[in-house]
Amino acid sequence: MAGVSVLNLIKSYGPVRVLQDVSFEAQDGEFIALVGPSGCGKSTLLRSIAGLETVDGGTITIGGRVVNDLDPKERDASMVFQNYALYPHMTVRQNMAFSLKLRGGGASEIASRVAEAARILGLDDYLDRYPRQLSGGQRQRVAMGRAIVRKPSVFLFDEPLSNLDAALRVQMRSEIRSLHKRLGVTSIYVTHDQVEAMTMADRIVVMQGGRVEQVGPPLRLYDKPCNTFVATFIGSPAMNLVAGKLRNGQFIMSDGQGIPLPAKITGNSELDTRPVKLGIRPEHIGISSKAVRGSISAMVESCESTGNMTYFNCTVAGATFNVTAPYRLIVERGSLVALTLDAQYLHFFDADSGKQLINEV
């Protein structure tokens, strides 16, 4: 087994730099999710680790060995692709055995590795079928089987569940997770789906525009996002961001309406009068049809209930607040409501750079 370390990685396609000084580390046995919007460079990064792309700068280390100049097959990493990449004219058994045969493994060793992988993945009954005779979930399992039989030190997954329907995705999520628990192989898992990343990973690497924005355990990113990008990318519905200023113990919105702040924030004179963005997650706002002390008055633009949860979209002087209430509450569109922002969950970001200003809030 082996850890993976990526240091100052740079990669361009022609004049376009798609990886800009990317660094992160996966400890031995760790499950890392690489998450970010489409086009941010996740696949390029993963393919670079696998050796399917050459890089223009930086170092990739697997198991303490710098692998920049090694062929993919010498890197001891197996990749699972989104489109499964199965050979259509081969049976499940042949698909799983193929890479071992290429490496010149003995027939009995190959047979026993395929049998073991099939057992782990519940594919025993399908070994003689062709990919076209399998469901999407089964094909995905075969793709994982092909990776497992090689007994690599590292698994690299590139959006392996994107082609599956929602229910199957949730099921496969937990299958991959228990497979990881069982085999303990260092895994780097690319997804654009932050829920997938949150539920599967030990730690998440959030990327944007070829850069790493933040690395940390899922709930740490949720509770302490380092900037507005991470704050709004992690969590759904997204964190509310409202522009304004801090002054005299209040957060002043563009229309002059103030939100009282706790002393630990207002005590920081450095922040006074600075243009900031206030951030608060939808579930940290209380909503009431009666005026409440310290609340702000907002108009309800929409109100949708899923039975147990109610999702509000409210406006205050041009700013939007999404509010999630863990109960049913039907409010007419256009009604005025009182919003109470839970002070312990307020975030403040620099208006220009988007960086979190107060880390210990």
Which C-beta is closer to ligand ADP: that of 38 or that of 54? 38
Q: Which is nearer to Mg ion, 83 or 297 (CB)?
A: 83
Q: For residue 284, which of 330, 222, 198, 352 has the smallest C-alpha distance?
A: 222
Number of residues that bind ligand ADP (CB under 6 A): 10
Pick the piece of the chain touching ligand ADP (CB under 6 A) from 37-45, 106-114, 335-343, 348-356: 37-45
Strands (E), the chain: 4-13, 16-26, 31-35, 57-62, 65-66, 77-80, 154-158, 186-191, 203-208, 211-216, 240-247, 250-253, 258-260, 275-280, 285-288, 296-305, 310-316, 319-325, 336-341, 347-350
Q: Which amino acid is at 194?
A: Q
Residue whose Cβ sits closest to Mg ion:
43
Laid out side by side, the sheet with 250-253 consists of 258-260, 250-253, 240-247, 275-280, 347-350
Q: How far is the CB of 39 from Mg ion (least distance, A)?
A: 8
The least distance separating Mg ion from the CB of residue 46, rounded to whole angstroms, comes to 8
Q: Does 108 bind ligand ADP (CB under 6 A)?
A: no
CB of 212 to ligand ADP, least distance (A): 13
Contact call for residue 83 and ligand ADP (CB under 6 A) = no
Is residue 41 close enough to count as binding ligand ADP by CB under 6 A?
yes
Length of the chain in residues, anyone?
361
DSSP letters for 71-106: -GGGTTEEEE-TT----TTS-HHHHHHHHHHHTT--
Residue 273 burial by Cβ neighbours in a 10 Å radius (0-12, 13-18, 19+): exposed
User: Out of 5, 24, 33, 42, which residue is the one contacting ligand ADP (CB under 6 A)?
Assistant: 42
43 binds Mg ion (CB under 5 A): yes
Select from ligand ADP, Mg ion, none the partner in contact with residue 148, using the beta carbon and a kind-dependent cut-off of 5 to 8 Å. none
Nearer to Mg ion, 43 or 48 (CB): 43
Q: Does 44 bind Mg ion (CB under 5 A)?
A: no
Least distance between ligand ADP and beta carbon 40 (Å): 4
Binding site partner of 87, from Mg ion, ligand ADP, none, Cβ cut-off 5-8 A by kind: none
Footprint on residues 10-29 left by ligand ADP (CB under 6 A): 13, 18
Q: Residue 155: exposed, middle, or buried by beta-carbon count in 10 A (0-12, 13-18, 19+)?
A: buried
Whose Cβ is closer to ligand ADP: residue 197's or residue 285's? 197
Alpha-carbon span 63 to 153, nearest angstrom: 8
Sites of contact with Mg ion (CB under 5 A)? 43
Sites of contact with ligand ADP (CB under 6 A)? 13, 18, 36, 38-44
